[in-house]
Structure 1
Amino acid sequence: MEIINIHHPHAFNGDEFPPLAIALGYFDGVHAGHQKVIQTAIEAGKEKGLHTAVMTFDPHPSVVLNKEVKHVRQLTPMKEKVELLEQMGIDYLFIVHFTKEFASLSPQSFVEKYLISLNAKHIVAGFDYTYGHRGKGTMEDLPHYSEGKLAQTIVSKQELDAEKISSTRIRKELLAGNMEETARLLGRGFTVKGHVIDGEKRGRLLGFPTANIEVGKDYYLPGVGVYCVRMLVKGAWHNGICNVGYKPTFHSVKDEIPTVEVHLLDFEDNIYGEDVCIEWNTRIRDEKKFEGLEALVAQLEKDKKCAIEYFENF
């Protein structure tokens, strides 16, 4: 997959690219609904002999257009989004740098400068996709703005259990700790990448050594609690339990961001400094404050037993 970063105004005229079927969207999560849009573009490309592309935007439009928003957490920060799109078999990924100037383009100008001039022939987007200044352009308007130069497919609302699949719905389930439902909506397990750093090292003293994971600020995290997880370390997946929270047994003041600590089952290697990927599978319980270390250790033993039983049937 070739990645093309576009800054407005660009100088492409279409000669640089083969005829394209382009899927349009921000695609945070690349969830099951997004996958339908992208797969539809792939199928249109195969049918018409076109290469396939996705056009997305960075940073999130709300960061640029809303003065109150300084930073937006995402289900899939750009690096993960790129990896998922590549796995789907896309030929080109256009990442448009989102600015106020770009946002001020009329729908007509967007179609001419960002679709036709990139050699687009077939456009695919969801039924609610909009473009141009204040989102005044719709997919129904596309034949008008393109003067018939673009074919199109509008993907209808994708539902699960009679409710629209959306990034908002996924975030709600994620924050509630409903990992099975999150996975159903995503079409895959929810994962986060991070880096193993030095922690407080209490776990080792308690007989439950943990890897303290520094997670990028761009990620959404599951709601506070204890989970069964798998963690990818040095190319291999290992089962474990993960605490997302504030360790109230040891800290009376909450940090701004919860910590992520993983205890791997039957694993003793030193992995400080390693890059890892965590897949959340199911929630075990709430995080809570214990009156003493003995009570904490007893609960950790129960959590470990729960995880072992869970993964025996995984």
Structure 2
Amino acid sequence: MQVIKIHHPLEKRLIPAGPIVLAMGFFDGVHRGHQAVIKCARKIAREKGLPLVVLTYDHAPGIVYRQYKGGFKYLSTVDRKLELLNDLDVDRVYLISFTSSFASLSPQQFVDEYLVGFHAQTVVAGFDHTYGKEDIASMKLLPKYAAGRFEVITVPKFTENGSQEKIGSREIRKLIDTGNVEAANQALGYPYQTTGLVVHGLARGRTLGFPTINVEHPEKERIPGIGVYAVKVKLDKKWYDGMASVGHNITFGDANQLTVEINLFDFQQMVYGEEVVVRWYQYLRGEEKFTGADALVAQMKQDEQNSRRILEKYK
């Protein structure tokens, strides 16, 4: 998959010649709703014998519009998003840097300079996609701006089992924030995953008989809410079953920093400094303050049994 990074104003020399089918959206998480848009575009592209191209952005447009107080945490980093798009057989990605100057384009300018500039023969997007202010840059208005220069295909709301609620990135973020990773995975169409660096902790787990790796995650990645989870961890191209605790270790004090500690089953190696991938499968329980180490160890033994049983389904 070819990735072309674009910064406004568009340099036409970067754009390959020839018509394309273009799917556009921010696609945070590339969830099942996004997948429906891209698969629709892929079908058209294959029927027409044209490249399937995706227009997306390197960071959330809402950052430029100051919509997120306290910053924004992603379902998928840029690298992860590109990986997911590649899995969907996308031929080319136009990765646009969403800047103030780009955001200042009128809908007509955006269409003229970018969609036409990309040589789009067909443009596909979700029913709620916008390319500017919603009242003047909706999918309903796109045919007017296109003025017959390209076909516009709008993909309807993607719902589950007759529900009227759409599957959307905002809804998935809420599920992850509240620990409901099982429902989030259903909406995503794959297990939610994060990345991180293995760093030194207090080594308390080792003294309890449950050695853990402490995973320091990138600041902009969205970590599931506080609790204990059944997970898989990728280390040096191999996946290991385990259980993760996201919390403040409140059994050992009330002022501890938030940590992500993972006990890998049947694993004893020292892996400090390694980059790992964590796949989150199911929430087990919330964080509890135990009366002492013995009670904590008893619960961890139960957590391990529960995790092994859950993860057996994902062999």
Aligned mates of 1:206, 1:111 — CA distance in 2: 61
Call closer, same or farther: CA 1:70–1:2 in 2, change over 3 Å: farther
Checking the alignment, whether the CA contact within 8 Å between 1:20 and 1:52 is kept in structure 2 is yes
Q: Which residue of 2 aligns with 1:57?
A: 57
User: Which AA in structure 2 matches 1:297?
Assistant: V
Moved beyond 6 Å, runs of 4+: none
Q: CA deviation at 1:176?
A: 2.2
Unaligned runs of 5+ in 1: none
Unaligned runs of 5+ in 2: none
Q: Which residue of 2 aligns with 1:267?
A: 267
Q: Which residue of 1 aligns with 2:88?
A: 88
SS in structure 2 opposite 1:131? coil
Q: CA deviation at 1:168?
A: 1.4
Aligned mates of 1:70, 1:60 — CA distance in 2: 14
Q: CA deviation at 1:67?
A: 7.1
Q: Which residue of 1 aligns with 2:179?
A: 177
Q: Which moved more, 1:126-135 or 1:82-91?
A: 126-135
Q: CA deviation at 1:275?
A: 1.2
Checking the alignment, whether the CA contact within 8 Å between 1:225 and 1:244 is kept in structure 2 is yes
What is the number of equivalent residue pairs in this alignment?
312
Call closer, same or farther: CA 1:159–1:133 in 2, change over 3 Å: closer
Aligned mates of 2:193, 2:229 — CA distance in 1: 13
Q: Which residue of 1 aligns with 2:302?
A: 302
Q: Which residue of 1 aligns with 2:289?
A: 289
SS in structure 2 opposite 1:230? strand
Checking the alignment, whether the CA contact within 8 Å between 2:26 and 2:56 is kept in structure 1 is yes
SS in structure 2 opposite 1:272? coil
Q: CA deviation at 1:49?
A: 1.4
TM-score norm. by structure 1 comes to 0.94
Q: CA deviation at 1:188?
A: 0.6
TM-score norm. by structure 2 comes to 0.94
CA displacement, residues 212-233 of structure 1 (integer Å, 9 cap, x when unaligned): 0011111111111111111111
User: Which AA in structure 1 matches 2:253?
Assistant: H
Call closer, same or farther: CA 1:15–1:68 in 2, change over 3 Å: closer
User: Which AA in structure 2 matches 1:160?
Assistant: E
Q: CA deviation at 1:132?
A: 3.3
Checking the alignment, whether the CA contact within 8 Å between 1:198 and 1:212 is kept in structure 2 is yes
Aligned mates of 1:207, 1:14 — CA distance in 2: 57
Q: CA deviation at 1:153?
A: 1.1
SS in structure 1 opposite 2:251? coil
Aligned mates of 2:275, 2:14 — CA distance in 1: 39
Instruction: Give % identity.
Output: 40
RMSD: 1.7
Q: Which residue of 1 aligns with 2:204?
A: 202
SS in structure 1 opposite 2:232? strand
